[in-house]
Amino acid sequence: MINKSLAQARIGPLSPAAAAILLSLAVYLVWTIATYLLEGRINLLQQPTIGGRYVYVLVANVLVGTVGAIWALRWLLASQIVTVVQTGFRSLRRTLVVAVIGAVLGFGLLLQSQPASLAPLVLWNGFAQVLPVSIAEVVVCWAVIGGSFEAWAQSKGKVVGIIVGIVAANFLFGIYHYAHSAPFNQTGMVFFLMIPGLITSLVYFLGRDIYATILFHNFLGMTGVMQNVDLDLFSQPLYPLYALVVISVVVLIAADVFFIRRLTANVPQNRNE
């Protein structure tokens, strides 16, 4: 069963629902500030360095956006504010099927956008460039922010809860880009990015699978990033980039196993599926 002391946890005088909102916004704020300090402030996208990329990805996206955010999800689950289904961490068999669907749909949209290059190595490097950030974006904006706001509003009805979750996740996803390098920190771009953000919201809230959402969202993110990188650089193997991908994926799975799966191992199956 879920740990009772965690399930009864409160933050001061706040109700569990209000505490969930506060916690999710705190995670979001720390992640956004870390993004600005390590990426946007130094315009890292336009002036890339291996050291700078490693620090940015490992601190902002792996430590805060993945480990910290999934720890927050653990608290939401332990407090019974959200269900396992709402978090998007589903059974392996279901995830494999839905992830393939999400990847195919995302790749199809990428092709429709006419990317700067269709060379396999360029596409792979673009995918690898975006993935560590996509993991953090989906976990923070959709699982943590979207999930907590959905739970807060679902007393008004399931549909209302989903709509509130979508609005909160998508709006804060767009605003977070002010912390990034140009051109993603420009107001026009910030609000434009809410369009693919809305599509990601639909995939997350209808599919309820975090891995499928990450893959789908990653293909959407590749379009803009590939228009603002050096394609000559992306036409050769980038092994340091691949190492970051491995680290990001391993940490995501480890956080899933140790923070989510262990906590919910004895949750009745109808809550897990």
Q: Look up residue 3 and give its DSSP letter.
A: -
Roughly what angle, to the nearest 10 degrees, separates helices 92-112 and 210-226?
20
The band of 50, judged by pLDDT with boundaries at 50, 70 and 90, is: confident
Q: Are 272 and 264 in contact (CB under 8 A)?
A: yes
Give the per-residue pLDDT at 28.
Answer: 98
First CA to last CA distance, the chain: 17
Nearest residue to 234 (alpha-carbon basis) of 226, 245, 243: 226
**Is the confidence at residue 197, as pLDDT, over 80?**
yes
What's the chain's average pLDDT? 90
Question: 129 pLDDT exceeds 60?
Answer: yes
pLDDT computed for residue 155 by the predictor: 87
Instruction: Band the pLDDT of 266: cuts 50, 70, 90.
Output: low
- Rounded CA-CA distance 176/168 in Å is 12
Beta carbons within 10 angstroms of residue 13's beta carbon:
7
- What pLDDT does residue 15 have? 77
Report the predicted TM-score, pTM, of the whole model to 2 decimal places. 0.92
Across the range 165-178, mean pLDDT stands at 98
Q: Tens digit of pLDDT for each residue in 231-263? A: 888 899 999 999 999 999 999 999 999 999 998
Q: 246: part of which helix (H) or strand (E)?
A: helix 239-255
In angstroms, what is the C-alpha Rg of the chain? 18
pLDDT of 6 over the 60 cut = no
Region 129-151: mean pLDDT is: 97
pLDDT at 195 over 60: yes
Contact 260, 85 (CB under 8 A): no
Question: Residues near 99 by Cβ (< 8 Å), separated by ≥ 6?
Answer: 209, 211, 212, 215
- The answer to whether residue 140 scores a pLDDT higher than 70 is yes
For residue 269, pLDDT over 50 is answered with no
Please, which residues have CB within 8 angstroms of residue 95's CB and are 6 or more apart in sequence? 209, 211, 212
User: Looking at the predicted structure, is the pLDDT value of residue 30 above 90?
Assistant: yes
Is it the case that residue 12 has pLDDT exceeding 60? no
Q: What is the per-residue pLDDT across 60-115, written as a single tens digit (0 to 9) for each? A: 999 999 999 999 999 999 988 999 999 999 999 999 999 999 999 999 999 998 88
From CA 136, how far away is CA 76, in angstroms rounded? Answer: 17
User: Which one is predicted more confidently, 25 or 115?
Assistant: 25
Q: What is the pLDDT of residue 267?
A: 54
pLDDT grade for 11, boundaries at 50, 70 and 90:
low
Of 142-156, 165-179, 252-266, which range is least confident? 252-266
> Please, what sign has the CA dihedral across residues 207, 208, 209, 212?
positive
